[in-house]
Structure 1
Amino acid sequence: MSRTNNHSSDSVNTVNEKSVVGEKSAVDDKTVVTEKAVSNESSLPKGLAKNEYIKDQSQYLRGTIKQSLANFVTGEVAENDQQLIKFHGIYQQDDRDLRNERKKQKLEPLYSFMLRARVPAGIATPQQWLTMDRIASDYGNDTIRLTTRQAFQLHGIIKKNLRPTMQAMDKVLLDSIAACGDVNRNVMCNPNPVESKAHKEVYQWAARISEHLLPKTKAYHEIWLNGEKYQADASPENTKEPIYGKHYLPRKFKTVVAIPPYNDVDVFAHDLGFIAIIKQGKLLGFNVTVGGGMGMSHGDPETHPRVADVVGFCFPQQVLAVAEQVVKIQRDFGNREQRKLARFKYTIAKHGVEWFKQQLNDRLGWRLLNAQPFEFTSNSDRYGWIKGFDGRWNLNLYIENGRIKDEGDYRLRTGLREIAKIHQGDFRLTANQNLIIAAIDESNKAVIEDLITQHNIKTGDEVSILRRHAMACVSLPTCSLGMAEAERYMPSLLDKVEQLLSDHGLSEQPITMRMTGCPNGCARPYIAEIGLVGKGPGKYNLFLGAGHHGERLGVIYRDNIGESEILSILDELFEQYKNNALERESFGDFVVRTGVVTPSYQAQDFHMELQAQKAS
C-alpha cells in the first residue's frame, strides 16, 4: 500500500494574511499559521449553510482544533471544530445510554470519538491489521468495526488519545484524512483477489483515484503528527486546493469501482462509479455512473435516495480526469444553501443528466464513449475457501455487522490477531462488512485453518443465507443521528425472520435485508429487498421492491411500525412469494410484478407509494 503524500511533505497550504489572526515570526517577520482564533470576517455572501462559513474560516481545515485538543476541562471539542474534525476522519459522539443519567448527575455527556481509517479498496497489510487491533485495546472500546465502505472504524477514543491514535496509524502508512467530511471519501472497489490479473489492475486504479482526490492541505500533518507550523507562502499552489478550492464540496462525495458480475460495492448507490469492463482477462476501461445516493429526511418530500445513471465509457488512462471533473462539477453547482439538498444526486436531479454530460464534455475537452454492455449477477460476498488464479488461497469470513470482537467462545478478534502474526498476504475488507484473508500460500493454509477452528470463527456456512445478505449500521448508543436500534437489534430480528422463511420453505432463497437507525442510509437499506429505516424507538419504515442486485430502489410500504407488524407483513408476503413466484424470481422483483409496491424510477415517485398505501 502506497503512502499518501498529503501529510508527509515539508511544504504546506497556507492562507492569505487577511483571513487569519496571525503572529509575526521573530526570524523573518512573515505571517505563520497559528492556533489563534479565526477572524469573524467572511468573503462569502449571506444565506449559505452554516458549514460553508465554518469551512471558509477554517484555514484549510485547521480551525481551532489544536486548542480544542489542548482543553482538558471538557471531553468535547469546540462546536465549529466538531464539523472540521470530520474532514480528518473523526466524529464526536457520546454514550446515549448514559446521557440522561449523567445529566441528572450534572455531568457533561460521556464524550468520545469515532475514527475511520482510510483504506482504499479495503486492502490492508497484516501489520496494519495488528496496529488497528492494538489501538482498539490501547485507546478504543476493544472492538474494530469493518464499515460498509471498506474502512476500519474505531469507537470510544477519548480526546487525549486522538493524536496518539493518528500517530500509531501513521507508522504503518494508514491515515484518516478525508474518511469523512465534505470531500471524496474512501474509494471502494471489489476486493476479489481470485478471478484474474485484471482485478489487480482495477484495484490500482481505485487506489489512484483515492490519492488523486485527497485534499492537499497539510492541516492533518500539523495537527495530528506533530508537524511544525509552516511559514505563509503566497504562491498559488499553497493558497488553494487545486480540486476542492477553499470551501471544499457542499456535502460528502462517495466513489466506487465495481467489477461485473459482482456489484458488492453497490455502484448505483454512490455519487460516482466506475464499472470495469473486462474482456478476455483484459481491462478495456470503465462505464461511468453518476448521481446515486442513499440519504433522505423523514417526512420531507424534497429529499430522497437515488440510483445512479450510466453516462458513458472511458479508457483507463482517462479515469483520473473524469473523476476530477465530476467532483469539480459538484463543487461548482452543488447546493450550498441547504445541506439537506447538497448531495450530488440533487445536482443531477435538478439540472438533468444531459446537462451534466455537456458540462463534463466541455471540461474534459472530449466526450465519453457509449457505455459498454455489462451484467451484475450478485451483490453479496462469496464465503469460505476459494483458490485464486495465482494458485493462492483466499478465505472469506462472515462478520456479523462488521464488528470484530471476542464474545464467549467466539474469539474472532483474538483469532484474527493470531492469523495476522503469521499471514504473508493481506486482509481485504468487503463492502458487505465481511473480511477476506487473501493470498494465502498453500504451505500456510493448514495453519490458518487450524486457527479458524481454534477460535470458532465463522466462515459463512454456519449462518443462514438471509444473514449472509444482511447488514446494519451502528446507530445507538454512539451515533448522534440514531433514532432506533440497528446493529444491536438486527441479529434478534433476523432470528425471527429466519423462522418465517423456514416455515414457508424459503430458507435457501437469497433475500437482501438491511437496517439503519436513521434515514441517512449508511447500510444502504433503500436498495435492499427488505429495508428497515429507524423512525423512533422500536419503530421503522419498511421499504420493499428493490432490485436484488442493487439496480433499483425500494419504496416505502409501511411507516412507523414495530416488530410485530413487520413480522406479520413479511409472513404474509413470504406466503404469497412461495405460492406465486416465477422460476428464479427474486423477492424484490416479485413484490413489484404482483403490485405489492410500485417501483420508483424518478425522484418524485419515491414518496408516492406511501401516500397510495395510506389512501387505500
Structure 2
Amino acid sequence: MSDKHPGPLVVEGKLADAERLKKESNYLRGTILNDLSDGLTGGFNGDNFLLIRFHGMYQQDDRDIRAERAEQKLEPRHAMMLRCRLPGGIIKPEQWLAIDNFARENTLYGSIRLTNRQTFQFHGILKKNVKPAHQMLHDVGLDALATANDVNRNVLCTSNPIESELHQEAYEWAKRLSEHLLPQTRAYMEIWWDQQKVATTDKEPILGETYLPRKFKTTVVVPPHNDVDLHANDMNFIAIAENGRLIGFNLLLGGGLSIEHGNKATYARTASEIGFLPLDKTLEVAAAVVSTQRDWGNRTDRKNAKTKYTLERVGVDTFKAEVEKRAGLTFEPIRPYEFTTRGDRFGWVKGIDDKWHLTLFIENGRLLDYPDRPLKSGIAEIARVHKGDFRLTANQNLIVAGVPASQKNKINAIARQHTLLDNVTSQRENSMACVAFPTCPLAMAEAERFLPAFVTRVEELMHRHNVDEEHIVLRVTGCPNGCGRALLAEIGLIGKAPGRYNLYLGGNRIGTRIPRMYRENIGEDDIIADLDELIGRWAKERQDNECFGDFTIRAGVVRAVEDPAHDFWE
C-alpha cells in the first residue's frame, strides 16, 4: 500500500471490552488465584476465562459430550489447553521426559500435541492439575508465559540442522527476541510458582499497561527455507549471512491469515518488506515495531486490530518511519534473499558439524500411543538415550538433532521399532491441519480428525493421474482464524459448518502467495470431485516442474491475489 492517502494513526471510538479487562487485571493477575481454589466449577469465572490466556492457557471442553452433559444438567467438562513457550522449538531430552510423564499422568487424553508454532500443547488438564503443570515446566526450566492473547507469542526460527553454526546464531536471536518482548509483570511467577510479590510498581515499558491490541507473532528465518511460513506473522527477521556468518536481518512486517467468513473488512495479507538492519539494532527495532503497533493498533475492533490492518490504514512508509524514529536508525535497502523450500526434510541428514539429524513425520503433530503405533513411547525411548536436543518444526514434526555417528544406529532402531519411520507419501508429509474438534471452542468443522482420511483420497487422485511422486501443499482449518495456515496453501480448506468447507486455490509451494476462494460451503465429495478434475488438468497441462498452485493461476482457474486489502474477496 502506498502512503498517498494514509489513514488516522489512532482509531477513535468506544474501546473493545478486552481493553477494559486488561486495564482492570492488575497487570494480568485478576482473581485467578481465587478461581484456583473454587471447587464448585471446573472452569475459570468472569474475566479470568480470558485472562488465563496471557498465562498460556485456553479453557476448553469436550464438545463431543457437551450435549450429553447438558441433558444430565452438568456443566461442560472444562479442561485447559496449556501451551509452552519454546523459542525456536528446541527442547532437551530431559525436559521432554518430564512433559511426557506429565501428559501420561495428568491429562485427560494422555497426548502431546506438537503445534505449527514450534512448541507443544497439553490438552485436557483439569483445573486441579493446572498449577502443577506450570510448576513442572518451571522445574525443568520452561514456562507458558505469553503464548496466547495480546502479547508477542512464541518466536519461531527456521529448523535447519545442516548449517548448524548459522542456525545456532539465528536461534540465539530468537531466544533473545522472546525474552526481550515478554511481559514484565511478575503475575505469572506469583500465581504459578508461588513467588512473593515484590514491593515495586509494575511497569510494561514495551507492551504497555493494556498490552497489545491483538496477538502478535514473530519469526527468525534462515533462507532458503521458509519452513516457518513467515507471511503468517506480524514481524519477521530474515537472516542475511556473509561467509557463513550472520551480519543482520531483512525486516518484513504485517503478515497474517485470520479472517472472518463474509466480513470483507478482514483479509489475509503477506508481509511487507521494510529494510535491512544490522545485528546490534535487532532488539531496538523489535521493541520499536511492537510499541508502534501498541500505540497505533485498533483497540475498538478486535477483528481489525492486527498489525496487517495498521499497516494498511496508516501506510507502510508511515509505519516504517515511526519505527526508524523509535529505534534510532535508518533502514538500509533490503538485501537479496530467496526461498526455495517450505516443508521439512525427512529422514537422516548430516550437518556441517558431522552430526546427524533425524526428522520424524508426526501426522497432525499428535503424539500418542495408538494400537500398533506407540509413537509417544518411541520419542520418550529416544529421549532416554539421546545426548543432543529435539527440535520441533513449524510443520508439526520433530527433529532428533545432533546425533553422533556412534548413536545413529541405536536411535534409528528405536524409531523403526515404534513405527516412527514408516513410509508415507510426499503428499501426506506436506499436509497439515489445526486441532479443531473436539476441544477447540472456535471450530466450525473437523480438521485434525478429518485430515488423515482426506489425504488418503487425495493420494488416490495423485495415483490416478500419475503424479504419485509429487505433492501439493494442503492445509485444513476448522475455522477461519488461521491456526492451520490454510491461506498460505496451494489447496486450503477452511471450515464453514460441520462437514462443509470453503475451498481455496492458488497459493504457491514456498508460501509467498495468498490463495483465493474457489468454491464456498461444499462437502468432502464435492471437494474431491473438483480436485480430481484439477489435478488431472495439472498432470496433463503443467509446464516443466510447475507446481499445482502456480498452474491454477496460469491456467486461469483462479486469479492471483495481488492486493489482499482490496481484492481478497473479489
TM-score (norm 2): 0.96
Q: Which structure is higher in RCO with an 8 Å CA cutoff and minimum separation 6?
A: 2
Match of 2:63, SS state, is: coil
Q: Please say if residues 514 and 528 of structure 1, whose CA atoms lie closer than 8 Å, have aligned partners that are also in contact.
A: yes
In the alignment, the residues of structure 2 paired with residue 306 and residue 248 of structure 1 have an alpha-carbon distance, to the nearest angstrom, of 23
Q: Does residue 458 of structure 2 align to residue 497 of structure 1?
A: yes
In the alignment, the residues of structure 1 paired with residue 164 and residue 78 of structure 2 have an alpha-carbon distance, to the nearest angstrom, of 46
For residue 181 of structure 1, the aligned residue among 131, 149, 167 is: 149
Q: Please say if residues 465 and 508 of structure 1, whose CA atoms lie closer than 8 Å, have aligned partners that are also in contact.
A: yes
What one-letter code is carried by the residue in structure 2 that aligns with 1:205?
A: W
Q: Could you tell me how far 1:606 is from its partner in structure 2?
A: 4.2
Q: Could you tell me how far 1:556 is from its partner in structure 2?
A: 0.6
Q: Does residue 42 of structure 2 align to residue 75 of structure 1?
A: yes
Match of 2:131, SS state, is: helix
For residue 250 of structure 1, the aligned residue among 190, 206, 213 is: 213
Q: Deviations over 1:268-323 (max 9, x none)?
A: 11100011112321212111000000101001000111110111111111111111
What one-letter code is carried by the residue in structure 2 that aligns with 1:388?
A: G
For residue 96 of structure 1, the aligned residue among 63, 67, 88 is: 63
Q: Which residue of 1 aligns with 2:546?
A: 585
In the alignment, the residues of structure 1 paired with residue 477 and residue 356 of structure 2 have an alpha-carbon distance, to the nearest angstrom, of 34
Q: Which residue of 2 aligns with 1:34?
A: none
What one-letter code is carried by the residue in structure 1 that aligns with 2:116?
A: T
Q: Could you tell me how far 1:608 is from its partner in structure 2?
A: 3.5
Q: Please say if residues 555 and 606 of structure 1, whose CA atoms lie closer than 8 Å, have aligned partners that are also in contact.
A: no
Q: Could you tell me how far 1:47 is from its partner in structure 2?
A: 1.6
Q: Which residue of 1 aligns with 2:51?
A: 84
Query: What is the root-mean-square deviation of aligned Cα atoms in Å?
Result: 1.1
For residue 436 of structure 1, the aligned residue among 399, 406, 409 is: 399
Q: Which residue of 1 aligns with 2:498?
A: 537
Q: Does residue 481 of structure 2 align to residue 520 of structure 1?
A: yes
Q: Deviations over 1:80-131 (max 9, x none)?
A: 1011100000000000000011001100001000000110000000011111
Match runs of 1:364-443 below 5 Å: 364-443=327-406
Q: Please say if residues 349 and 603 of structure 1, whose CA atoms lie closer than 8 Å, have aligned partners that are also in contact.
A: no
Q: Please say if residues 248 and 331 of structure 1, whose CA atoms lie closer than 8 Å, have aligned partners that are also in contact.
A: yes
In the alignment, the residues of structure 2 paired with residue 536 and residue 432 of structure 1 have an alpha-carbon distance, to the nearest angstrom, of 25
In the alignment, the residues of structure 2 paired with residue 220 and residue 582 of structure 1 have an alpha-carbon distance, to the nearest angstrom, of 55
Q: Which residue of 2 aligns with 1:172?
A: 140
Q: Which residue of 1 aligns with 2:77?
A: 110
In the alignment, the residues of structure 2 paired with residue 448 and residue 606 of structure 1 have an alpha-carbon distance, to the nearest angstrom, of 50
Q: Deviations over 1:332-362 (max 9, x none)?
A: 0000000010111110111111111111112
In the alignment, the residues of structure 2 paired with residue 184 and residue 163 of structure 1 have an alpha-carbon distance, to the nearest angstrom, of 23
In the alignment, the residues of structure 2 paired with residue 51 and residue 196 of structure 1 have an alpha-carbon distance, to the nearest angstrom, of 42
Gaps of 5+ in 1: 1-44, 610-616
Q: Could you tell me how far 1:196 is from its partner in structure 2?
A: 4.0
- Count matched residues: 558
For residue 354 of structure 1, the aligned residue among 317, 324, 334 is: 317
Match of 1:346, SS state, is: helix
Match of 1:74, SS state, is: coil
Match runs of 1:128-147 below 5 Å: 128-140=95-107, 141-147=109-115
Q: Could you tell me how far 1:134 is from its partner in structure 2?
A: 0.9
In the alignment, the residues of structure 2 paired with residue 587 and residue 213 of structure 1 have an alpha-carbon distance, to the nearest angstrom, of 39
Q: Which residue of 2 aligns with 1:266?
A: 229
Query: Which one is further off, 277-286 or 322-331?
Result: 277-286
Q: Which residue of 1 aligns with 2:31?
A: 64
Q: Which residue of 2 aligns with 1:323?
A: 286
For residue 602 of structure 1, the aligned residue among 533, 554, 563 is: 563
Q: Could you tell me how far 1:46 is from its partner in structure 2?
A: 7.5
In the alignment, the residues of structure 1 paired with residue 479 and residue 416 of structure 2 have an alpha-carbon distance, to the nearest angstrom, of 37
In the alignment, the residues of structure 2 paired with residue 465 and residue 359 of structure 1 have an alpha-carbon distance, to the nearest angstrom, of 45
Q: Does residue 124 of structure 2 align to residue 163 of structure 1?
A: no
Query: Which one is further off, 272-281 or 563-572?
Result: 272-281
For residue 184 of structure 2, the aligned residue among 216, 219, 226 is: 216
For residue 411 of structure 2, the aligned residue among 429, 432, 448 is: 448
Q: Which residue of 2 aligns with 1:200?
A: 168
Q: Please say if residues 150 and 430 of structure 1, whose CA atoms lie closer than 8 Å, have aligned partners that are also in contact.
A: yes
What one-letter code is carried by the residue in structure 1 that aligns with 2:324?
A: N
Q: Please say if residues 185 and 202 of structure 2, whose CA atoms lie closer than 8 Å, have aligned partners that are also in contact.
A: no
C-alpha distance 606-102 of structure 1, shift in aligned 2 (>3 A): farther
In the alignment, the residues of structure 1 paired with residue 399 and residue 306 of structure 2 have an alpha-carbon distance, to the nearest angstrom, of 32
What one-letter code is carried by the residue in structure 1 that aligns with 2:153?
A: R
Match of 2:241, SS state, is: strand
Q: Please say if residues 159 and 227 of structure 2, whose CA atoms lie closer than 8 Å, have aligned partners that are also in contact.
A: no
Q: Alignment identity in percent? A: 49
Q: Deviations over 1:33-82 (max 9, x none)?
A: xxxxxxxxxxxx97211110000000000001111111011001012101
Q: Does residue 238 of structure 2 align to residue 275 of structure 1?
A: yes
Match of 1:297, SS state, is: coil
Q: Please say if residues 434 and 476 of structure 2, whose CA atoms lie closer than 8 Å, have aligned partners that are also in contact.
A: yes
Match of 2:209, SS state, is: coil
Q: Deviations over 1:406-451 (max 9, x none)?
A: 1111111111111111110000000000000000111111111111
Query: Which one is further off, 160-169 or 188-197?
Result: 188-197
Match of 1:129, SS state, is: helix
What one-letter code is carried by the residue in structure 2 that aligns with 1:116?
A: R
In the alignment, the residues of structure 1 paired with residue 212 and residue 281 of structure 2 have an alpha-carbon distance, to the nearest angstrom, of 22
Q: Deviations over 1:491-524 (max 9, x none)?
A: 0000001100110011111210000000001011
For residue 123 of structure 1, the aligned residue among 63, 85, 90 is: 90
Match of 2:47, SS state, is: helix
In the alignment, the residues of structure 2 paired with residue 356 and residue 552 of structure 1 have an alpha-carbon distance, to the nearest angstrom, of 23
**Following TM superposition, where does structure 1 have runs of at least 4 consecutive aligned residues deviating by more than 4 angstroms?**
none
Q: Please say if residues 489 and 507 of structure 2, whose CA atoms lie closer than 8 Å, have aligned partners that are also in contact.
A: yes
Q: Please say if residues 196 and 281 of structure 1, whose CA atoms lie closer than 8 Å, have aligned partners that are also in contact.
A: no
Q: Please say if residues 258 and 267 of structure 1, whose CA atoms lie closer than 8 Å, have aligned partners that are also in contact.
A: yes
Match of 1:275, SS state, is: strand
Q: Which residue of 2 aligns with 1:150?
A: 118
Q: Please say if residues 512 and 530 of structure 1, whose CA atoms lie closer than 8 Å, have aligned partners that are also in contact.
A: yes
Match of 1:573, SS state, is: helix
Q: Which residue of 2 aligns with 1:482?
A: 443
Q: Please say if residues 277 and 286 of structure 1, whose CA atoms lie closer than 8 Å, have aligned partners that are also in contact.
A: yes
Q: Please say if residues 518 and 534 of structure 1, whose CA atoms lie closer than 8 Å, have aligned partners that are also in contact.
A: yes
Q: Please say if residues 514 and 531 of structure 1, whose CA atoms lie closer than 8 Å, have aligned partners that are also in contact.
A: yes
Gaps of 5+ in 2: 1-11
Q: Which residue of 2 aligns with 1:343?
A: 306
Q: Please say if residues 123 and 191 of structure 1, whose CA atoms lie closer than 8 Å, have aligned partners that are also in contact.
A: no
Query: Which one is further off, 297-306 or 220-229?
Result: 220-229
TM-score (norm 1): 0.89
Q: Could you tell me how far 1:363 is from its partner in structure 2?
A: 1.3
Match of 1:558, SS state, is: strand
Q: Please say if residues 305 and 526 of structure 1, whose CA atoms lie closer than 8 Å, have aligned partners that are also in contact.
A: yes
What one-letter code is carried by the residue in structure 2 that aligns with 1:531?
A: G
Q: Please say if residues 304 and 606 of structure 1, whose CA atoms lie closer than 8 Å, have aligned partners that are also in contact.
A: no
Q: Please say if residues 88 and 178 of structure 1, whose CA atoms lie closer than 8 Å, have aligned partners that are also in contact.
A: yes
What one-letter code is carried by the residue in structure 1 that aligns with 2:328?
A: G
Q: Deviations over 1:170-215 (max 9, x none)?
A: 0110100001110000000012122241221111111110110010
Q: Please say if residues 295 and 520 of structure 1, whose CA atoms lie closer than 8 Å, have aligned partners that are also in contact.
A: yes
In the alignment, the residues of structure 2 paired with residue 578 and residue 437 of structure 1 have an alpha-carbon distance, to the nearest angstrom, of 36
Match of 1:596, SS state, is: coil
In the alignment, the residues of structure 1 paired with residue 547 and residue 541 of structure 2 have an alpha-carbon distance, to the nearest angstrom, of 12
What one-letter code is carried by the residue in structure 1 that aligns with 2:563?
A: Q
In the alignment, the residues of structure 1 paired with residue 163 and residue 197 of structure 2 have an alpha-carbon distance, to the nearest angstrom, of 48
In the alignment, the residues of structure 2 paired with residue 78 and residue 142 of structure 1 have an alpha-carbon distance, to the nearest angstrom, of 26
Q: Which residue of 2 aligns with 1:511?
A: 472
